[in-house]
Structure 1
């Protein structure tokens, strides 16, 4: 393989390794800017997931709670089963909704010839990771309160989430590049985020779905990661390493293609902003 060909496969991580300080500063700006002016500040990163979980549990717990074997057997509460999936969705949804504006919302940076625009998805990923960590801490505390235990297999959760982070990185490059030209993408992604939630295994197990609709839930890229998260966080099982490896490989290849698309389209960013 030629040197340039080999570089293509390192391209997804190039900005993170060569622009670490810039990525870190942009990540801090993104996290702190989100809560600037709020009386509770960063505490909202803890309060928000708890309020969200309360709403979903109240709305769906009575109807759907008994569908889960873990809940029916008394092994876990519905709030815990649901929260494990909402953590996954929250991570990906934050990236999905932000991605179209990464370039379109930064005209001043785009017009700086020396600014490395390819770093922009990384602060988005790390900021979403920060909020995921906050959600995970709330989850573990709630699990102790409601179920009286925390599984040691929860330590595998970063391994479970890593392939989805690669997929989110691909989404960041692809949608940020396309969003500079097609502003309507920013209107579609919030709706897509909701669809990904309700057409996943977040609310009900796939086993209770009608046969003709199961494929729709199975092809949802979040469903597999949600179930892996439940394995390590709720069921106390080791993750499916083979499945995660295949997911990661697929996400990596998509990220390589998305980065190539970004590089191809970036020459016109300044003209359309």
Structure 2
């Protein structure tokens, strides 16, 4: 199936929803198999990050987040907003190039819908991201203020999810033919983290480089999430629509590239 029709592509994936659900469950459980805390690591890890950020940025460096016309918010929450968004991308992008190689026995079966594998990866990462956002919500309730705009968070995150899905399809297909990609992506992810407004506001970027940040879907989602989750300010809907269009196009392009490439997977595995 190589059509770019989003409705037909969506219907095709929906037909395999049970298989996608089972494989997602398997991926989540396998990640923590044999560990003492099991899936509890999904809760412990973000809490550890929060504690580390509080110590390093709040107490050692004494950093402050200067946002005009916004109430004071603990620095750790502002940074964690950025990290929660970025981690969904990072976890998926780092694993996608090796994805098909890990499912060789499935890929070589003619009747297996290989195109669902990147979706399974994103769904698995989404489970971990959901836990991160729940912890973020809890800390907002304790240390800041709950705003009605929090109800918009799922809508704000929709472009992120589509963008990550498109990237997963692109990287999973490319990783079959370019094995070095699996080694390059973790480095690229680290670089991109510092080039995205995770640990600083986009307003701190020099004016001459602002155009570069406006081209980064992750940066836009991070900034909009902070607006609705922390400041209680409605999102910039024009920016949101723009990043939604870019993310949707990325998802369709990734799906088309993957479905056209998968015919050659068995020849190189």
Q: TM-score, normalised by structure 2?
A: 0.91
Q: For residue 80 of structure 1, report the CA deviation from its aligned partner.
A: 0.8
Structure 2 unmatched runs, 5+: none
Match of residue 66 from structure 1: 64
Q: How many Å separate the matches in 1 of 2:106 and 2:66? A: 48
Q: Confirm or deny that 1:38 pairs with 2:28.
A: no
Residue of structure 2 in register with 1:47 after alignment = 44
Cα deviations across residues 117-173 of structure 1 (Å, max 9, x unaligned)? 0111111121121111111111122223322x3222112111111111111111111
Is the CA contact 1:64–1:203 (under 8 Å) kept in the aligned structure 2?
A: no
Is 2:137 the partner of 1:140? yes
The CA deviation string for residues 159-195 of structure 1, in whole angstroms up to 9 with x for no partner, is 1111111111111111111100001111111112112
How far 1:210 moved relative to its partner?
2.9
Range with bigger deviation, 208-217 or 36-45: 208-217
**Residue 65 of structure 1 contacts residue 78 of structure 1 at CA under 8 Å; is this kept in 2?**
yes
Q: Give matches, 1:134-213, under 5 Å.
A: 134-147=131-144, 149-213=145-209
Contact 2:97–2:173 under 8 Å retained in 1:
yes
**What count of residue pairs does the alignment treat as equivalent?**
267
Offset, 1:24: 0.2
**What root-mean-square deviation, in Å, do the aligned CA atoms of Structure 1 and Structure 2 show?**
2.1
Q: CA deviation at 1:12?
A: 4.3
What CA deviation, in whole Å up to 9, does each residue of 1:63-115 have, x standing for no partner?
A: 47324227x97621001111111110011111111211221221111111110
3-state SS of 2:112 partner: coil
Q: Say if 1:236 and 1:201 are closer, same or farther in 2 by CA, change over 3 A.
A: same
| Whole-Å separation in 2 of the counterparts to 1:251 and 1:92 | 13
Aligned to 1:75: 72
Q: Distance in 1 between matches of 2:192 and 2:61?
A: 20
CA–CA distance in structure 2, aligned partners of residues 151 and 35 of structure 1: 35
Q: Does residue 1:232 correspond to 2:228, yes or no?
A: yes
Task: Name the counterpart of 1:114.
Answer: 111
Distance 1:112 1:82 in 2: 44
The residue that corresponds to 1:250 in the other structure is 246
CA–CA distance in structure 1, aligned partners of residues 210 and 241 of structure 2: 23
Distance 2:9 2:168 in 1: 11
Deviation (angstroms), 1:262: 1.1
Measure the CA separation in 2 of the matches of 1:52 and 1:200.
18
1:20 maps to 17
User: What is residue 89 of structure 2 aligned with on the other side?
Assistant: 92
On the 8 A contact 2:220/2:243 being kept in 1, the answer is no
